[in-house]
Amino acid sequence: PERFPMVKKVALLTAGGFAPCLSTAVGTLIERYTELAGDVEIIGYKNGYQGLLTGDFYQVTPEVRANAGVLKRYGGSPIGNSRVKLTNAKDLVRRGLVAEGLDPLKVAADRLVADGVDVLHTIGGDDTNTTAADLAAYLRDNGYHLTVVGLPKTIDNDVVPIRQSLGADTAAEQGALFARNVLAEHNAAARTLIVHEVMGRNCGWLTAATAQKYHAWVQEQPWLPEIGLDGAAWDVHAVYVPEAAIDLQAEADRLRGVMDRLGSVNIFLSEGAGVDSIVAEMEARGETVARDAFGHIRLDTVNPGAWFGKQFSKMLHTERTLVQKSGYFSRSAASNAYDLELIDAMCRLAVESALQGVPGVIGHDEEAGDELRAVEFERIKGGKPFDIDQPWYRELLQQIGQPEPVAAPVHEH
């Protein structure tokens, strides 16, 4: 502690949707602080920014420090999450988190001051970390110096300019595992259509990576088509992501041939694919499209999987249509070996940066030669599109017989 006299108390905060890294990151941060600065006090705000606003937190006890490694075995977040935007005062007043007329940024800042926090670690996506940047700027402008060091959590892997978000690889692996059981349903009835809906609002990376991992599994298995155990029927037949245009009629014509030949069709669909068409159809019927506190369309009310299932069901003359979502199964898993290694490296740098007073979001900076560093908050933003021209993705589409992708018009959801 003598080496870091400015850091007496550290707060941890996880926010946004779950990803298979939160519990591991919390445990790893505690371990690293215990190793480097054992006298530094650590708290964890309950349910993210909600706990910060209400002053509700866990105290990291000696028992927790001694057993922090246990957290790496689990998914979810031990300290809890919520979706709170500190600059959306109206939403926070409605939810009873701040009183009418108060500035939520000031409420949060005053709470950090009252709690004596010197370092705040935010583990979340672009919304979480840009909110943290807003908070840090407010504190700095009002004479209080707090070091905020974020970690990039999103299964969409869509944070600019960070190469790989924590938990994304595990989510893809778990989605492929989910598909093994769900796609076994392909011959539970004749002419079955299965739509595997994968999370991904604006970015198709998770859908593409999930499809690739599942397709690789199919290729590795022994099959016995003579008795109906046909790898071709178990495989992926279409992958739809928001970044690529979808020609429904052309795809229906192609997939009808697959259905006629195999008796089933398996589609991997990003939940953000085709949303513009679906929303336009809903609004044409006079329906109001629900949005969350950040202004994002609530995709659970749009239900892309059901919409695509309905369209293709008619066009492919199916007898059975099954729509299954792997999102909650995938995002709440424990970290895999790849993510455990990535989280360890990022958390080590996060603690070192915090103790040295260097703010930012830890990640491999794609705009700085993939160097692992604290990326400046002002450079952090969400919505990084999946590159549909990547060789591995084009190779996947070629192997499953899908035409080369054509970029879709860019829209804000």
How is residue 266 annotated by DSSP?
Answer: E
Measuring CA to CA, which residue among 176, 106, 130, 200 is closest to residue 336? 176
Residue 365 CA to residue 148 CA, distance in Å, equals: 18
DSSP string, 2-69: TT-TT--EEEEEE-SS--TTHHHHHHHHHHHHHHH-TTSEEEEETTTHHHHHHT-EEE--HHHHHTGG
CB atoms closer than 10 angstroms to residue 379: 14
* Alpha-carbon gap, residue 33 to 210, rounded angstroms: 34
Alpha-carbon span 262 to 233, nearest angstrom: 6
The count of other CB atoms within 10 Å of the CB of residue 335 is 28
Distance between CA atoms of residues 115 and 197, nearest Å: 43
Radius of gyration of the chain (CA): 23
Catalytic hit among 118, 126, 127, 156: 156
In 67-167, alpha helices (H): 89-94, 104-115, 126-141
Closest CA to 383 of 354, 345, 353, 410: 410
Tell me if residue 156 is catalytic.
yes
Longest dimension (CA), the chain: 75
Cα of 326 vs its chain's centroid, Å = 13
Residues identified as active-site: 156
